[in-house]
């Protein structure tokens, strides 16, 4: 799956089973912060799609955000036991 690094943050956006998902991964201090935001791919409203002062305003579709999940991944120190 394609990922895009913008401003030190990794982004993936994709659609599955009628849902639009945006995933981000960012290094904060020594932790990775992984976030998922999702909602239905069906727009809840549409604006624009008209003329304003002689200019064509394209349609702008707004999509719902229903879920936000965040995971903080911490590096675990390894303890070795030698027998």
Q: Does residue 80 register a pLDDT over 80?
A: no
User: Which residues have a Cβ under 8 Å from the Cβ of 51 and sit 6 or more positions away?
Assistant: 57
Per-residue pLDDT reduced to its tens digit, 42-55: 999 999 989 999 99
User: Which residues have a Cβ under 8 Å from the Cβ of 48 and sit 6 or more positions away?
Assistant: 57, 58, 59, 60
The neighbour count for residue 61, using CB atoms within 10 Å, is 13
**Under 8 Å between Cβ of 3 and 10:** yes
pLDDT value, residue 76: 82
């Amino acid at each position: 799956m394609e990922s895009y690094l913008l401003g030190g943050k990794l982004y993936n956006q994709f659609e599955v089973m009628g849902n639009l998902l945006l995933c981000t991964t960012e290094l904060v201090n020594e932790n990775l912060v992984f976030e998922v935001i999702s909602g239905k791919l069906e727009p809840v409203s549409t604006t624009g799609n008209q003329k304003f002062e002689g200019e064509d305003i394209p349609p702008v579709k707004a999509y719902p955000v229903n879920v936000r999940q965040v995971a903080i991944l911490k590096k675990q120190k390894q303890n070795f036991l030698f027998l």
